[in-house]
Structures are given as structure tokens and as C-alpha cells.
A = this chain, B = another copy of it.
Amino acid sequence: MSSAATTTTTTEDSTFSFKSYMHQKRNSVNQALDSAVSLKEPEIIHESMRYTLLAEGKRVFPIVCIAACELVGGNESTVMPAACAIEMIHAMSLIHDDLPSMDNDDFRRGKPTNHKVFGESIAILAGDALLALAFQHIANATIGVSPSKIVRIVGELAKAIGSEGGVAGQVMDITLTGVPGVGLEQLEYIHLHKTALLLEVSAVMGAILGGGSDEEVKYLRTFARSTGLLFQVVDDILDVTKSSEQLGKTAGKDLMTDKTTYPKLIGLDKSREFAEKLNREAKEQLSHFDTEKAAPLVSLANYILNRQN
């Protein structure tokens, strides 16, 4: 990846250890998730929910939620139920997207997908249950903020994942996969709706619960939207560069999948330029905040730009 971006990281967070920050936040989130879904009856459905929810993951969505809350002056305990909810939604979308009638994936991060372990019907129901639990957890476990804020984040979260949000993205994805002539606008639509809106609502929920002003919520909304899009552009780039190593040539991967990607549409160099532009735009939004307090999110935007997997 670009050395300019790496330098920026080092300069901007010289006094801040991103690695230990992520480690500590990931641990808190994992503990909270573990407590949020215990092995009640019927056991099989809770096992299925836990299988995907507690699988190894970056926890980028909940960490952005917590970081946004803390940036505007809130604290971790207030925002934790919402942070867990966003990871429940993320797990739900992974389970449903992997189903045979959707992307038909047998493995995710080297582990069999949920329906390969628990069967298709339980996997569908586990997704439904995680979706419901996200709202249950926000409504019942969020303490120390006004109910009007809770109502506001319920509305924001539901919109981000429904037929105008994540579902819309998945609909376009399955509708356009394999269709020739998919352009930049359609690709951005899919990435925006499938990923960026979920990261956006993570930041927005955190900012609202943390007591952020309308202006602050807006800055963090734009930050997370750009960062979410950045995440997908980098994903597309890694797809190509990883496959190049594995297959010896990019064309092989291109022929193997019908997925439209940024490198396919605008080339690898322009994709990297675009990623850097998104990273800059994201960080510009953070310039409205105290530099020290914004360090976690600045580092996160850089981490997402520079990540290798």
C-alpha cells in the first residue's frame, strides 16, 4: 500500500497505540456479546446464533460505534448494547448472505458457514433471531440516556438494514452478479448499501448515545460512510492482489468470478487513488474534533486503508 498513508498514520497517532486500543475494545465487545446470547432453550438456535456472532472477527462496526460515542464525550458502558446490536446485525447478514439461495458459500474465514453446520432452516431462523435480538438488546439494556435517544437509534438502525439499506444492497448484489455491463454507479450502490450504511449507523448510534450535537452526528455520519466505502474498495483491491499472488496472474481471478470490482472497472492504480481520496475525506470530518480524542478513528481509517487482509 501507499507509503504516504503509512507515514500519515505514524505522524498522527504518535502518542496513541492503535494496536492496544483495538485489542482492548475487541475484548470488551467479545465479552459483552458472549453475555448477550446465552445458551437458553431451544439450545440449537442459540448455538447457531453464537456460532457466527462469536466467531473471530475484526469487530470494526462495534468499535466505530464505541469510538464515536467516546469522541463526543460519552462512555463505553452506555453504548455497549448498541455496539453489540450492530455486530448481531452484521452476523445476521453474514448468515443470510451465505445461504445456498444467496451467495451459496460453504466456508467463511476457514470455518464452515452457519447453514453447513446447523442446516438451512436453523440458519435462516438464527438470522431472524439475531435481527430481533439487536432491537431487544438496545431497548432493554441501554441505560443512562434519555428514551428519546434510544427511539432515535432504533429508527436509524432499522432504516440502515432494511429495504432501503442493507437489504437493498444485497438485492442489487444478487440481481447484478453475472450481469454484463455493471458500472461504477451500480458498484458504489452495492458497496454503500451493503457495508457503508452499516458503518455509518454504527457511528451515528454512538454519536447520538454519547450526546453529540447534530453537527457532530453529521461529521461522524460522513466519516463512517466514507470509511465504509473505503473498506469495500480496499476489499476489491485485496481480492486482486491476493489472487495475483495465488494464481500468478490477475486475469485468472477475473475469469473465475463474475463479480464487478473497482480494479476491474477503473484499474488497480486508480482504485488505490480512490481509496486514498476516501481515506482523506473521512479524516477531514475528524478535523472538527479534538486531535487527541479523534486519534482512534483517524487510526482506524488508516488501518482500513492499509490493511492486508
* A-to-B contact residues, CB < 8 Å: 40-42, 44-46, 49, 92, 96, 99, 101-102, 119-122, 124-129, 131-136, 138-140, 146-148, 150-152, 154-155, 157-159, 161-165, 167-168, 170-172, 174-175
For the complex, what is the distance from the CA of A121 to the CA of B120, rounded to whole Å?
A: 13
Residue on B nearest A146 in the bound complex, by CB: B147
Chain B residues, Cβ within 8 Å of A40:
163-164
Main secondary structure of the interface of A (DSSP, over half): helix
Given contacts A133-B162, A147-B146, contact A42 B175 (CB under 8 A): yes
Contact call A151/B147, Cβ cutoff below 8 A: yes
Contact call B101/A121, Cβ cutoff below 8 A: yes
Q: Smallest distance from the beta carbon of A84 to chain B beta carbons, Å? A: 14
Contact call A168/B131, Cβ cutoff below 8 A: no
User: Top 7 closest A-B pairs, CB basis?
Assistant: A136-B158, A132-B162, A139-B155, A101-B120, A147-B147, A129-B163, A147-B148
Chain B residues, Cβ within 8 Å of A157:
135
Q: Smallest distance from the beta carbon of A98 to chain B beta carbons, Å? A: 11
Q: Smallest distance from the beta carbon of A259 to chain B beta carbons, Å? A: 16
